[in-house]
Amino acid sequence: MNVSRFDLWLGLPLAAVALLLPFTGPSDFLLNLATLVMIWAIFAIGFDFVFGLLGMVSFGHASFLGLGGYALALATQLWGLPFSAGLGLAIVAGALCAWLFSFFALRVSGIFFALVTLALSQLLYILADSKLRAWTGGADGLPGVERPGLGGIDFFDSTHFYWYVVAVFALVMAAVAVLRRSPFGRVIAGIRQNETRAEQLGFDVHRYKQITFIVSGAISGLAGALLASLLMYVNPQMLHWTTSGDVIIMTLLGGAGTLWGPVVGVLAFEVLKEWLSGWTQYWYGLLGLVFILATLFFPKGIVGELQERFGQWQDKAARRDGRSS
């Protein structure tokens, strides 16, 4: 099965929609929604490094996202750094936090890993909410988070900011696609399939896991900074463990471990949310129901299922060609 061709087939229409959207005269609401989807998609892609590629369920990714947001807010507001430096700092903050978490979390595996990451991120949430109030603004959060400043372009304009996020998103996607196919990515996939075998082949499994976790944290931190910039606001809710739950829902809905799965998952989540919330105020519960059904009947997610169909279709086509020639 040629996965990369499948990824291309799926990616091209998505890219086309993203590039053409600003020219269709969309409302600010739609543009901001699309921006939000891309930012959350970056988060989900980062998350899927640990979840889909490594096969470990982390309930701590809200920390990396939230820290990224706070890093940007503090860097630009408190220390007067430019936006790009704040963005860099957010990536570093996410990576550092993941690195710290890894010392605790990687000592255990399976369900314990989920619980340890959950405990650590709740500790951070409580700290941000209470002890670090002087820095984080406590439950009120920090308003007035900066937008990018680049060549005198006004990024408070929704369209301009949209293009900025498109560019970052494209970079992240490209980097992730390369990383997944790199020797490093293959080792990670190998570890998920059979950890013992990878260990026996001489790979330092712990080290690989740690690096994956850090990369995942860095991407999540980047997403957090962009999210804070889009909302022009950051508060401890970003650090709450339910944020980690949301990203799990999205990733699983789209298809964990596939290149486009997290992106499609976020898109589906946000579209469903908009559609359901226009229809009933009880959208979150309905979304939960959709999610339960999806977990039961489509555990591979939207993209995972599509990929399987695509593979079957290609096999069939190949067999047919083989007969006719």
Partner 1 sequence: MSTLIIGLSLGMLLFLLASGLTLIFGMLGVINFAHGALYMLGAYIAFDIGRHTGSFVAGLIGATVLVAAAGALIERLALRPLYNRPHFYQLILTFGVILVISELVKIVWGLGYQESTMPEALAGTVELFGSTIPVYRLFVIGFGALVSGGLFLLIEKSTFGMLVRAASSDGEMVRLLGLPVSSVRMAVFALGSGLAGLAGAIAAPLFPIELGMATNTIIDCFIVVILGGLGNIRGAVAASLLIGLVRALGYAYMPSWVDILTFALLIATLLTRPQGLFFRATRSA
Residue 200 C-beta: closest distance to partner 1, Å: 22
Restricted to residues 8-67, the positions that interact with partner 1 (CB under 8 A) are 57
Q: 3-state class of 259 per DSSP?
A: coil
Residue 75 C-beta: closest distance to partner 1, Å: 25
Is 275 one of the binding residues for partner 1 (CB under 8 A)? no
Nearer to partner 1 among residue 104 and residue 203 (C-beta): 104
Nearer to partner 1 among residue 9 and residue 112 (C-beta): 112
Rounded Cα distance, 96 and 91, in Å:
9
Rounded Cα distance, 72 and 50, in Å:
24
Residue type, position 193, single letter:
Q
Residue 282 C-beta: closest distance to partner 1, Å: 5
Query: Which tokens sit at 29?
Result: 């609401």
Is 118 one of the binding residues for partner 1 (CB under 8 A)? yes
Residue type, position 305, single letter:
E
Is 292 one of the binding residues for partner 1 (CB under 8 A)? yes
Nearer to partner 1 among residue 6 and residue 241 (C-beta): 241
| Number of residues binding to partner 1, judged by CB under 8 A | 38
Residue 256 C-beta: closest distance to partner 1, Å: 10
Residue 197 C-beta: closest distance to partner 1, Å: 18
Is 295 one of the binding residues for partner 1 (CB under 8 A)? yes
Nearer to partner 1 among residue 20 and residue 111 (C-beta): 111
Question: 287, 302, 303, 306: which one contacts partner 1 (CB under 8 A)?
Answer: 287
Is 252 one of the binding residues for partner 1 (CB under 8 A)? yes
Task: Determine contact, residues 158/31, Cβ cutoff 8 Å.
Answer: yes
Nearer to partner 1 among residue 182 and residue 295 (C-beta): 295
Residue 74 C-beta: closest distance to partner 1, Å: 21
Handedness of CA 281, 283, 289, 293 (dihedral sign): positive
3-state secondary structure 124-181: HHHHHHCCCHHHHCHHHCEECCCCCEECCEECCCHHHHHHHHHHHHHHHHHHHHHHHH
Question: 278, 296, 321, 323: which one contacts partner 1 (CB under 8 A)?
Answer: 296
Handedness of CA 211, 217, 220, 224 (dihedral sign): negative
Query: Which tokens sit at 316?
Result: 């069939």
Tell me the window of 107-115, 180-188, 194-202, 270-278 that interacts with partner 1 (CB under 8 A). Answer: 107-115
Query: Which residues, including other chains, have CB under 8 Å from residue 144's CB and lie 6 or more apart?
Result: 77, 232, 233
Task: Determine contact, residues 49/212, Cβ cutoff 8 Å.
Answer: yes
Nearer to partner 1 among residue 110 and residue 144 (C-beta): 110
Determine whether 176 is exposed, middle or buried from the number of CB atoms within 10 Å of its CB (0-12, 13-18, 19+).
buried
Question: 3, 21, 81, 115: which one contacts partner 1 (CB under 8 A)?
Answer: 115
- For residue 298, give the nearest of 270, 256, 244 by alpha carbon: 256
Q: Please give the residue ranges that form the binding site for partner 1 (CB under 8 A).
A: 57, 104, 107-108, 110-112, 114-116, 118-120, 122-123, 126-127, 130-131, 240-242, 245, 248-249, 252, 282, 284-289, 291-292, 295-296, 299
